[in-house]
Amino acid sequence: MLSYNKAVDSRQYLVQEFIQGETLQQELDNRGIFNESQIRELLIDLLSVLQFVHNNNLIHRDIKPENIMRRETDKKLVLVDFGASKIMPKTQRRTVTGTVIGSAEYCAPEQSMGKAKLASDLYSLGVVCLHLLTRMSPFDLSQKLYPVSCIHFVKLKKKSVTRISLHFSNNFDILLL
């Protein structure tokens, strides 16, 4: 995102760079499930992006594999499509009450009730990672996981799911709990 401002008439506008590359969903479809090292790289790249976005009082509200692209020129991951984003008033850093928006499969519970907060983006990123590790729809994951933790499920499943280390799984749980 190059600019996000309010015009004189209080309308919000944003300017986004055109990114040439593949989305993570396209990578998943073309190359298969991600491994722990790929997920670690994704988190390193995108957590710093989210820190910058959140430090500028903005919530993305639609983090999903289709909105994360690998830039063709330098292979860096880029968060795109800020069309659902919302400016969070500086005095209200915890929760923004408003419209229910975002992709339901990746939405944090509080966001699906119209009460998005900065941590909602982190939850969505965690769900994206689970989808990339398992190639399962987040809706299918939630039905199979309850009441087992997400990470437990990833470790127990035997076919077509990436095995992850205990250390990584413990850190991963923090995003989703």
Phi, psi of 148 (to 5 degrees): -80, 145
Return d(Cα 85, Cα 3) in angstroms, integer.
13
DSSP H or E stretch at residue 90: none
List the beta bridge partners of residue 69.
Answer: 23, 78
From 29, 62, 140, 173, active-site residue:
62
Q: Is 97 helix (H, G, I), strand (E, B) or coil?
A: strand
Q: Is 45 a catalytic residue?
A: no
- Length of the chain equals 177
Chain centroid offset of residue 64 CA: 5
- Is the separation of the CB atoms in 57 and 63 below 8 Å? no
Cα–Cα distance measured from residue 151 to residue 174, given in angstroms and rounded to the nearest whole number: 10
CB burial class (10 A; 0-12, 13-18, 19+) of residue 66? middle
Return the active site residues: 62
